[in-house]
Amino acid sequence: GGFSALKKAMSMAPMEIINEIIDAKLLGRGGASYPAGKKWKQLYEIEGDPKYIVCNADEGEPGTFKDRYLLDRNCWLVLEGMIIAAYATGSSKGILYLRGEYASLKEKISAAIHELERKHFLGDNILGGNFSFSIELHMGAGAYICGEESALLESIEGKRGVPRNKPPFPVSSGLQNMPTLIQNVETFANIPQILRYGS
């Protein structure tokens, strides 16, 4: 789609985008089926900078490979979803946390990020506007528990990957104690489709 969903998103108000995600009834993949749009709205309503977007690609359940498949076949879709989420919530920094065992995907995803930077879909003044967003690829170390969102944040911060006590939840106090949206690979991959075709 040539990032047509991102182009469309940048012509919309943030709450218009968030309402599309809410109306689509897109759910998180964490087991609690928490509505993605509700999480986006919570982050949007929090003031402060920076806000973070984190893609949880630490797929560790035995026999699962949907995230690996999506990242291998169409990492562009996932990255576009992250950029749209950042635009809608006012976030400036993104991290894609890749499972250590998926090291074979590192080069492909890194190349995609660099190409998006060259084509002004990432970096400063995306598509000539006043929206700036960067994505960093972070490799996990193979710890199963880091699939849990707060343990994942601890790992990114260079600490031992153990879950945090909640509350506070990451949306209000996440990475570096700043507001953070964490979503699964599959959740982000759905975002461009919702923007293209409607909720």
Name the DSSP letter for residue 169: P
Whole-prediction pTM = 0.96
**In tens digits, what is the pLDDT along the chain, a chain of 199 residues?**
789 999 999 999 999 999 999 999 999 887 788 999 999 999 999 988 899 999 999 988 878 889 999 999 999 999 999 999 999 999 999 999 999 899 999 999 999 999 999 999 999 999 999 999 999 999 998 788 888 899 999 999 999 889 999 899 999 999 999 999 999 999 999 999 999 999 9
C-alpha 72/C-alpha 107 separation (Å) is 11
The Cα-based distances of 23 to 16, 133, 151 in angstroms read: 10, 26, 30
pLDDT at 63: 81
pLDDT at 33: 85
Residue ranges with strand state E in the chain? 52-57, 93-98, 134-139, 180-184
pLDDT at 136: 97
Going by DSSP bridges, is the β-strand pair 180-184/134-139 parallel, antiparallel, or unpaired? unpaired
pLDDT at 26: 97
